[in-house]
Structure 1
Amino acid sequence: MKHCAGYSAVSRRLAQVCVLLLTLSSSPAQAEVALGASLPELLSYARQHNPALAAERAETEATHARAEAAGTLPDPSFQIELMDVTNSMRGGGTTILPGQVGETRYRIVQPLPAWGKRELDSRAAQTRAERAEATQAQTWLNLAAEIKTAWLRYYAADREQMLNDDALALLQALEDTTLTRYRLGLAPQQAVLRTQREITGRRLASITIAQRRQAAQAALNALLSRPASSALALPLDPPALPRLQPYAGLLDIARATSPALAAEAHAVEVAQLERDRTRRDRYPDFSIGLTNNQPRGGDASWDLMLEMMIPLQQSARRAREREAAHLLDAADARRTAAMASLEGELGRAHAAYLAGRESLNLLMASLLPQATATRDAARNAFANNRVDFDTVLEAEEQLIATRIQILETEVATRLALVELEKIVGELQ
């Protein structure tokens, strides 16, 4: 029975090895089929193929290009002015050809913003580009967390299927033993019927697990921008769970490295620059112009023009200043809210991870050996006719339930680790 119980797990491990060997020797077209064995390859693939991340990269590049153009002088304008197009002062017909009218004036005008406005525009655009970079980094962290979560669901369904297959193989072996003992008059018919009922229950559970596995596979493929039915390699065992430093240390790291906090900080800086830029509208803008006058039949001359904008619309300007001040208050409040949210999420994830890791250690070090010893003792006692079949079956079910509990606790702990890594960064 022991050999039968371990047959499914051994066969799955052999299948994993075969998949990896085929991956190393396969063509590039076949290599995609083996994707999914571990997280690093999935994350690398997502960096290159996820369209949402590609959109963020393009938008970030756009903000950098916009920052390069910010703060430059406006383009000058060129004017041509035709004086006395009817030629009434010199005699002749009406015309709009330069040089054939009374006088032709060629003028170039260059707008000049007030002192400091261009520098503020440039700094605001650069800060927006930095905020876009932080937003892109946060988008990647969110996407990576979704991929890790989907892969863990896929891993959990695969390992649960292995445990269910092991339990089914065990029950089938017990069925053979029970039938043999029933024919010899050593076991009641109820034992045979209960074994068969348990086998049917395991087969039904296998259908449910397969459905969860397929759903996890579809979700993972969607995050990788692959068809939902694309094949995935059998998941390998993830690395060991790391030891974490205290909450205060993780919070310091999060405050220094969190892209979400960096984006909100850049938003506050942009709002400050916009407020300062709005206040600069109290000062007038200027324009300078250079004019070449060419009278028909006369000597050319040059004119120099200086134009000043008069900021008379005080009510509109004050309204814009109030708007900029309120936007700064809103940005500062959003930064404070983001910090409070980060602290709360970090605290919950940290507590869940520590509790899960402690529970997992207790399950592995205490409950699993106890359940295994109970199962072995029940088997020996049943072989010597000291206990009935129900005792053996209950011991086997307890061991299977313990293994499933260990798997569920491990997955929950790793999901808490995913949340921590989304907030703090890589912890492995």
Structure 2
Amino acid sequence: MVALTLGSGSAWTQGSPDTPTLGSSPQALIEYARHSNPGFAAARAEASAAQERVTPAGALPDPTFEVELMDATNTMSGRSASLLPGQVGETRYRITQPLPGWGKRELAVKAAEAQATQADAMRDTSWAELAAKIETLWLRYYAADRELVLNREGLTLLKSLEELSLARYELGLLPQQAVLRMQREITAQRLALVEVEQRRKGLAAGLNGLLGRAHDAPLAAPANPAPLPEQLEAGALFEAAASANPEVNAATYGIDVARAERERTYQDRLPDFAVGVRNNRPDEGKSSWDVMFEVMIPLQQSSRRAKEREAEYMLMAAEARREDAKARASGELGIAWSMYAQGRETLRLLEHTLLPQAQATRDASQAALSSGKVDFDSVIEAERQLIDIRTQRLKAELDTRLALTEIKKLTGDLK
């Protein structure tokens, strides 16, 4: 019974909702932010609002109802003034329906659809930015966590060397200066450990902020990310940046909006209309019906020509924005691709050359210390070099993964 109780308690603890599971991978954080980030919720609502503008854009204007009281003072009949229908000289009821000119409703729908498509593209742009921020912060969070592990391992090794140095000092085999230097190295390592721990907490708070959570909400320890691709095809990347980049797509749909607005502006040369019916009810006599037809007279030609020139300039600006977005995406992609290639080569040299050499030097210096061939300064220096190279390798991995994240954002690969 005790064994069953302990087993069930352990199982309950593993399934406890207080155990943090969010944070082990950037994909889970990005998916969580899709539903919880307030900024993206605003972009999503704006895109939905733009979709709802399509239906009313092609609807007819609401008709108007008018009541006209003729001879409200009742001068002709000699009665007292009145504001009640049927108690004045004549009451007129009129219903008027405005009618836009030919093709204007269709163009309004086309413009609204283009604006809705652009709003969707802007939503995708904001999402790509948010996903890139989350992945970037997570990578820094991952690097800080791994740096914390490296510093703790280095501190453990330095402490073991301190014990050895104290034992040799007590036997008179080591000068006091070597012991003091060892203790200085341990203090410096502890200071570095404190800095990394605080940086890790700050990055966790930043991630929680992007997720719409409390700054101190628990996050799981980051797992190892997927292996880096060996190489990236530059031609395919630049083609993707020109066709799938979110900012380029938004600028392209902006051209469609400008063209639709230009067509609407030129269509305003045609007049609008209105039709109506009126029922006349005199105080004495028979009621009658009138039919009304109105047409707008386009007299303000200078104003219309200015609006047409404005529409042309807006189209030119939209086309220039697309070219600017393409040029910026291409330039930023070139920088990111170069940084990624450099990072891969740096990692290769560190992992296959410098790191094995530093490990071999450290091991050899420790073996030589045991036989009394080297002093403690050589061992400490070898250990310090190994810690520095491991930290350098972690920084190179971080820079390479950050470049890959930027490449994915520029090529529209962050969904």
Structure 2 contact 43–123 (Cα < 8 Å) conserved? yes
Select 1:364's aligned residue among 341, 344, 351.
351
Distance 2:59 2:94 in 1: 22
Aligned to 1:397: 384
User: Hey, what's the Cα distance between the residues in 2 that align with 1:427 and 1:69?
Assistant: 34
1:266 equivalent in alignment to 2:266: no
Q: CA deviation at 1:88?
A: 3.9
Distance 1:67 1:382, change over 3 A: same
Letter in 1 for 2:136: T
Structure 2: runs of 5 or more not aligned: 1-10
Instruction: Summarize the Cα distance change of 1:183–1:268 in structure 2 as closer, same or farther, 3 Å threshold.
Output: same
Deviates more, 1:162-171 or 1:75-84: 75-84
What is the SS of the residue equivalent to 1:290? strand
**Deviation, structure 1 residue 414:** 0.8
Corresponding letter in the other structure for 2:152: D
Q: Give the counterpart of 1:386 among 338, 355, 373.
A: 373
- Aligned ranges for residues 22-421 of structure 1 at < 5 Å? 25-27=15-17, 30-31=18-19, 33-421=20-408
Distance across 2 between alignment mates of 1:355 and 1:166: 28
1:59-99 Cα offsets, whole Å, 9 max, x none, are 11111111221121111111122223344445544323222
What is the letter of the counterpart of residue 37 of structure 1? S
Measure the CA separation in 2 of the matches of 1:376 and 1:77: 93
CA distance in 1, matches of 2:38, 2:185: 47
Contact persistence 1:23–1:34 (CA under 8 A): no
**1:40, distance to aligned residue in structure 2 (A):** 1.7
Distance in 2, matches of 1:247 and 1:416, equals: 14
Inter-CA distance 425–276: structure 2 relative to 1 (3 Å threshold): closer
Amino acid at match of 1:221: N
Q: 1:147, 1:275 → 2: CA distance? A: 40
The 3 A distance-change label for structure 1 pair 22 and 143 is: farther
Q: Write out per-residue CA displacement over residues 119-149 of structure 1, whole angstroms, 9 at most, x where no aligned residue.
A: 1111111111111111111111111111111
Q: How far has the Cα of 1:256 moved from its partner? A: 2.5
Gaps (5+ residues) in structure 1? 1-20
Most deviating of 132-141 and 37-46: 37-46
Q: Once the two structures are superposed, what CA deviation does each residue of 1:150-184 show, in whole Å capped at 9, x if it has no partner?
A: 11121111111111111111111011111222222
- 1: CA distance, partners of 2:300 / 2:181: 90
* SS of 2:275 mapped into structure 1: strand
Contact 1:38 1:238 in 2 (8 A): yes
From 383, 397, 410, the equivalent of 1:423 is 410
2:131 aligns to what SS in structure 1? helix
1:16 corresponds to = none
Matched residue SS, 2:213: coil
CA distance in 2, matches of 1:22, 1:379: 47
* Of 270-279 and 407-416, the range deviating more from structure 2: 270-279
Deviations 1:377-413 (A, max 9, x none): 2221221222222222221111111111110000111
Distance in 1 between the 2:92 and 2:344 partners? 84
TM-score by length of 2: 0.93
The one-letter code matched in structure 1 to 2:401 is R
Q: Which amino acid aligns with 2:165?
A: T
Aligned equivalents of 2:311 and 2:413: distance in 1?
Answer: 38
2:5 alignment partner in structure 1 = none
Question: Structure 1 CA distance, aligned partners of 2:305 and 2:358?
Answer: 76
Between 1:196-205 and 1:222-231, the stretch displaced more is 222-231
Query: Aligned partners of 2:294, 2:349: CA distance in 1, in Å?
Result: 82
TM-aligned CA deviation for residue 185 of structure 1? 2.8
Q: 1:242 touches 1:427 (CA, 8 Å); kept in 2?
A: no
Deviation sequence 1:221-247 (CA, Å, 0-9, x none): 111122222222211111111245322
1:56 CA drift (Å) = 0.9
* 3-state SS in 1 of match to 2:268: helix
How many residues are aligned here? 405
How far apart, in 2, do the equivalents of 1:210 and 1:388 lie?
33
Indicate the SS of the match to 1:318: helix
Report the alpha carbon displacement of residue 416 of structure 1 after superposing the two structures with TM.
0.6
Q: 1:211 to 1:133 in 2, by over 3 A?
A: same
Q: Secondary structure at the match of 1:311?
A: coil
User: Matched residues, percent identical?
Assistant: 53
* CA shift for structure 1 position 248: 1.6
What is the SS of the residue equivalent to 1:282?
A: coil
Counterpart code for 2:15: S
The Cα of 1:22 is off from its aligned counterpart by: 8.2
Greater Cα offset, 276-285 or 86-95: 86-95
